[in-house]
């Protein structure tokens, strides 16, 4: 355990999660800045990610958050706060569902991505058709 400036203790997984979140936020801010400079906005597609993401230990809810984030990240530019929340949700899901094993998460992701993205494609098509 490492002590923070305020005297609190911070475990290694907590420090790693914080570093990942900061890195993702920084990267998202850079990408957003470049995209805006090139005239590409994040406003074209409304956020599909609930912000802030619920703090939960329910693996089913974490999996839903993971897929919503994965879909959003692969179909549009994400706002920095969405990217940060998604990074934290993904890290938590990886830890709870796969014991922190990124390789296992990756194998599982590759297997399930077509179906999960297909569901979300259908949801977006339905929303576009209904005008909402």
Q: What is the pLDDT of residue 103?
A: 95
* H helix intervals, the chain: 12-37, 59-75, 80-98, 102-130
Residue 126 CA to residue 132 CA, distance in Å, equals: 9
Q: Compare 73 and 56 and report the one with higher pLDDT.
A: 73
- What's the pLDDT tens digit per position in 1-37? 555 555 655 566 666 655 655 555 555 544 444 444 4
| Domain total in the chain | 1
Q: What is the mean pLDDT of the chain?
A: 75
What is the domain range of residue 50? Answer: 2-130
Q: What pTM was estimated for this model as a whole?
A: 0.61
């Amino acid at each position: 355990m490492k002590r923070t400036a305020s005297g609190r203790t911070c475990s290694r997984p907590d420090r790693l999660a914080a570093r990942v979140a900061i890195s993702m936020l920084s990267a998202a801010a850079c990408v957003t800045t470049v995209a805006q400079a090139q005239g590409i906005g994040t406003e074209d597609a409304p956020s599909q990610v609930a912000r802030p993401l619920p703090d939960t230990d329910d693996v089913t809810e974490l999996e839903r958050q993971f897929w919503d984030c994965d879909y959003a990240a692969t179909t549009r530019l994400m706002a920095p706060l969405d990217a940060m929340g998604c990074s934290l949700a993904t890290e938590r899901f990886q830890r709870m569902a796969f014991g922190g094993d990124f390789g296992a998460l990756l194998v599982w992701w590759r297997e399930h991505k077509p179906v999960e993205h297909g569901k979300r494609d259908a949801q977006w098509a339905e929303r576009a058709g209904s005008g909402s």
